[in-house]
């Protein structure tokens, strides 16, 4: 008789384990952006910053066609090219009024109040800088997609932080660790002196791109080809929340508003940003 409650409890626990989120579409911008690759939500500015690689250009071309857009939280495009003069901008990071942009071989620093480029930080030998994150201490981490590296920038000086990766892209400094997306896997390392890298999730769609924290052990991970996952790093569970591959709509480097539980997905060649509420 004692086995019945035990089995019921086990079934209930399993049902909770498989429960995850779902995405509900709220709005989509007009298709007036220029190959949007990354979205960054700013609670202070109440705006979305979006990196534009440039219309009809090679995503890795040093051509001066890149820009940063500003999009309202209602989906209206405030400025399609708020800051110009970049090449192929991708990942974005924000701290103390400075917007950090990964732009091929350099990190471009934009003064948000002035809406202008303040300076650039060149990374010697880099050709494919991709994503950016900033930790609580102000250290900027940037992935080098083509060379399989991650750099750390402190005091304006870049140093090699990780090497020997395949095609690292999405980065997220969360708590005291750094999460790294690399070729369908998610790894974690100390965002400080410790560089030990441990893979914690594998088997995601190739082209892993953006990562955002929801709560606890739960994250949302986007893959460039058009797949967005809910991932629990403790249980290793992963659930597809969005799959737009059949429609040939990409899902690049996502942004996230934790207060409103809104995920912002840049669609790359479709030239829009789509907002989804996490339910």
Full-model pTM: 0.92
pLDDT above 90 covers a percentage of the chain that reads 87
pLDDT in tens, 154-173: 999 999 999 999 999 999 99
> To which residue do tokens 């990374």 refer?
123
23-37, 191-205, 229-243: range with lowest mean pLDDT: 191-205
Per the structure block, which two tokens stand in for 234?
Answer: 């403790």
Instruction: Find, among 274, 172, 168, the residue nearest to 214 by Cα.
Output: 172
CB 90 within 8 A of CB 100: no
Residue spans per domain, the chain: 3-278
One-letter-per-residue 3-state SS of the chain: CCHHHHHHHHHHHHHHHHCCCCEEEEEECCCCCCCEEEEEEECCCCEEEEEECCCCCCCCCCCCCEEEEEECCCCCEEEEEEEEEECCCCCEEEECCEEEEEEECEEEEEECCCCEEEEEEECCCCCCEEEEEECCCCCEEEEECCCCEEEEEECCEEEEEECCCCCEEEEEEECCEEEEEECCEEEEEECCCCCCCEEEECCCCCCEEEEEEEECCEEEEEECCCEEEEEECCCCCEEEEEECCCCCCCCCECEEECCCCEEEEECHHHCCEEEEEEC
pLDDT above 70 covers a percentage of the chain that reads 91
d(CA 188, CA 159): 19
d(CA 279, CA 277): 6
* CA-CA-CA-CA torsion sign (134, 209, 250, 86): positive
pLDDT in tens, 90-110: 999 999 999 999 999 999 999
- Within 10 angstroms of residue 264's Cβ, the number of other Cβ atoms is 28
Per the structure block, which two tokens stand in for 206?
Answer: 């190739």
pLDDT at 194: 62
Instruction: Find, among 114, 164, 172, the residue nearest to 144 by Cα.
Output: 164
Q: What is the CATH number of domain 3-278?
A: 2.120.10.30
pLDDT at 242: 97
pLDDT surpasses 70 at 34:
yes
pLDDT in tens, 7-33: 334 333 333 344 557 999 999 999 999
* Phi and psi torsions of 4, nearest 5°: -65, -55
Looking at every residue in the chain, the average pLDDT score rounds to 92
């Amino acid at each position: 008789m004692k086995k019945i409650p035990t089995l019921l409890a086990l079934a209930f626990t399993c049902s909770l384990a498989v429960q995850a989120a779902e995405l509900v579409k709220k709005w989509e911008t007009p298709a007036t952006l220029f190959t949007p690759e990354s979205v960054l939500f700013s609670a202070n500015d109440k705006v979305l910053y979006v990196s534009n690689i440039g219309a009809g250009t090679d995503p890795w071309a040093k051509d001066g066609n890149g820009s940063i857009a500003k999009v309202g939280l209602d989906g209206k495009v405030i400025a399609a090219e708020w800051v110009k003069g970049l090449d192929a901008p991708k990942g974005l990071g924000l701290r103390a009024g400075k917007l950090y942009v990964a732009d091929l071989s350099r990190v471009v620093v934009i003064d948000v109040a002035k809406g202008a480029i303040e300076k650039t930080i060149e990374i010697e030998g880099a050709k494919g800088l991709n994503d950016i994150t900033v930790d609580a201490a102000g250290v900027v981490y940037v992935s080098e997609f083509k060379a399989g590296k991650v750099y750390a920038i402190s005091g304006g000086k870049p140093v090699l932080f990780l090497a020997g990766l395949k095609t690292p892209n999405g980065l997220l400094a969360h708590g005291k660790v750094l999460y790294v997306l690399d070729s369908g896997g998610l790894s974690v390392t100390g965002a400080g002196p410790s560089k030990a890298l441990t893979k914690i999730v594998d088997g995601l769609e190739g082209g892993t791109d953006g990562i955002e924290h929801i709560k606890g052990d739960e994250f949302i991970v986007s893959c460039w080809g058009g797949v967005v996952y809910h991932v629990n790093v403790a249980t290793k569970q992963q659930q597809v929340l969005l799959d737009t591959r059949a429609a040939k709509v990409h899902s690049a480097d996502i942004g996230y508003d934790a207060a409103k539980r809104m995920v912002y997905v840049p669609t790359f060649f479709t030239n829009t940003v789509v907002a989804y509420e996490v339910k």
